[in-house]
Amino acid sequence: MTRAAARLQGNHQLTLLEGTRELFPALIAAMDAAHTLIHFETYIFDFTGSGAELAEALLRAARRGVQTWVAVDGLGTGAAPRDWQQRFAEAGVQWRVYSPVNTLALLLPTRWRRLHRKLCVVDGQVAFCGGINVLDDFHDPSWGALEAPRLDFAVRVTGPLVADAQQTVALLWRRLQAVHDLRRREPLQAVHDLLQNGSGRGEAMAHGSPGARAALLLRDNLRHRKHIERAYLKAIGAAHHEVVIANAYFIPGRKLRNALVRAAQRGVRVQLLLQGRYEYFMQYHASRPVYGLLMQAGVEIHEYAPSFLHAKVAVIDGHWATVGSSNLDPLSLLLAREANVVIEDKAFAQQLRERLLRAMREEGKRMEPTHHGRRPWPQRCKESLAMLVMRLALMVTGKRY
């Protein structure tokens, strides 16, 4: 996909999906209707609860002859349970792991580049993109059962964008397959496949109204290093009335911080829905030192309380929206493979905006600048340590943020 392919195109039909309770039935319906090919990518594939229902849909598709290709991240997922490995192998589900890891491998900065995007393309006709892993809404691998579902979103798309998504997943799959063939001592075939990894572009059917414009934005370490971040900066810089952002791991760099501050200073109402529950040390604590600067400029910060916030979405001026996998932190914006759909459509943007504002009113807690300024010294020490760890990690990778 070239830079030109990332321009907004019309004639899309878009459906906002909240959580696995809406995404999984839509995915399963598409998989059950598949005729030729299912391409599926995810960071986490967990077989607990509703995750097993999605796995069963993949089995059904493969058993009736649909090529079923699943790519997962080596850190987020690793090896599938043995019984599922056997069932997938017998049915013909092909399972590939992106950048398998062990303890020693994680000491290499190049292995910190993860497959964090969540993409699915079925028959080259429909695509799904968002932040939702194959992970039951009420289950967390580290924290166990959750009292309330995590908050996250995805989008179902038909239209020209699907061809770009097909090209994206096909390219990565060919590379994973080439590595797989090399490990099985099939080097000539692997090299041939890698050389043939051109466009892989599918023909997407165009549905929906011409007013629904959208584009697929990627983040990788080659041609798409800054596309998602630039889209945020451009939209925030052009905002006239309102910026609403929900982001799970929010550690904005200097450019993004300045864009939010300038927007607030010129009278734009900037509202952030951020993680209110402790999940990971660095992401939770390293985000808090920037809160004071933002609130001083007039930015409103709401912390989501009922469960884990996992969303990576935004709405600006009630017509521009994005839904995807990219956090606004250095891991997403500098290292990981990410995918966001950017949308120019009032109906879609308003639907997402209403849900985020309701979450702020009913499920969040607004942070007060005075309370934030009186944080106890143990909390400040943790924040300083987390920020130091993050900066040292960036220094090792050679990245600046």
Tell me the per-residue pLDDT of 299-341, one tens digit each, with 9 for 90 and over: 999 999 999 999 999 999 999 999 999 999 998 998 899 999 9
State residue 148's pLDDT score: 95
Count CB neighbours of 239 within 10 A: 22
Residue 336 structural domain: 213-397
User: Roughly how many angstroms between the first and final C-alpha of the chain, as a whole number?
Assistant: 26
Count CB neighbours of 156 within 10 A: 21
Tokens of 345: 């459509």
304-339 burial, b if ≥16 CB within 10 A, otherwise e?
bebbbbbbbbbbbbeebbbbbbbbbbbbbbbbbbbb
* CB 130, CB 289: distance < 8 Å: no
**To which residue do tokens 């039935």 refer?**
25
Q: Which range, of 2-16, 52-66, 114-128, averages the lowest pLDDT?
A: 2-16
State residue 328's pLDDT score: 96
CA 261 – CA 295 distance, rounded (Å): 9
179: pLDDT strictly greater than 80: no
- Residue 310 a catalytic site member: yes
Q: Which of 128, 161, 195 finishes a domain?
A: 195
CA distances from 99 to 75, 177, 333, 340 (A): 8, 12, 19, 22
CA 28 – CA 337 distance, rounded (Å): 25
Contacts of 183 (CB under 8 A, 6+ apart): none
107: pLDDT strictly greater than 80: no
Nearest CA-CA partner of 335 in 234, 229, 254 = 229
State residue 69's pLDDT score: 97
CA 114 – CA 172 distance, rounded (Å): 13
Average pLDDT, the chain: 89
* Active-site residue identified among 139, 310, 329, 345: 310
- Residue 123 a catalytic site member: yes
- Residue 118 a catalytic site member: yes
1: pLDDT strictly greater than 80: no
259: pLDDT strictly greater than 90: yes
Query: Over the stretch 335-373, which tens digit does the pLDDT of each residue have?
Result: 899 999 999 999 999 999 999 999 999 999 999 998 888
* Active-site residue identified among 224, 227, 302, 312: 312
Residues 348, 310 within the same domain: yes
| 337 in a structural domain | yes
| 41 in a structural domain | yes
The string of DSSP codes covering 282-348 is HHHHHHGGGHHHHHHTT-EEEEE-SS-B--EEEEETTTEEEEES--SSHIIIIISBEEEEEEE-HHH
Contacts of 381 (CB under 8 A, 6+ apart): none
Tell me which H or E stretch contains 139.
Answer: strand 139-140
| 301 in a structural domain | yes
Residues 316, 183 within the same domain: no
Contacts of 218 (CB under 8 A, 6+ apart): 1, 6, 117, 168, 224, 227, 228, 337, 338, 339
- Residue 317 a catalytic site member: yes
CA 322 – CA 79 distance, rounded (Å): 32
Bigger pLDDT: 398 or 15? 15
* Active-site residue identified among 116, 224, 285, 302: 116
- Residue 207 a catalytic site member: no
| 94 in a structural domain | yes
Query: Over the stretch 125-147, which tens digit does the pLDDT of each residue have?
Result: 999 999 999 999 999 999 999 99
| 275 in a structural domain | yes
State residue 112's pLDDT score: 75
Residues 242, 180 within the same domain: no
CA 43 – CA 113 distance, rounded (Å): 12
Domain count, the chain: 2
CATH number at residue 340: 3.30.870.10
111: pLDDT strictly greater than 80: no
* Active-site residue identified among 46, 123, 137, 220: 123
| 200 in a structural domain | no
Could you give the 3-state DSSP secondary structure of residue 280? coil
260: pLDDT strictly greater than 80: yes
Query: CA angle at residue 390 from 253 to 137, to 5 degrees?
Result: 85
Residue 3 pLDDT class (50, 70, 90 cuts): very low
Query: Over the stretch 184-234, which tens digit does the pLDDT of each residue have?
Result: 655 445 444 444 444 343 333 333 345 589 999 999 988 898 999 999 999
User: Which residue blocks in 107-183 are alpha helix, DSSP H?
Assistant: 161-183
- Residue 382 a catalytic site member: no
Q: Which of 195, 224, 248 finishes a domain?
A: 195
* Active-site residue identified among 12, 39, 118, 302: 118
Query: Over the stretch 276-301, which tens digit does the pLDDT of each residue have?
Result: 998 889 899 999 999 999 999 999 99
* Active-site residue identified among 317, 319, 372, 382: 317
| 36 in a structural domain | yes
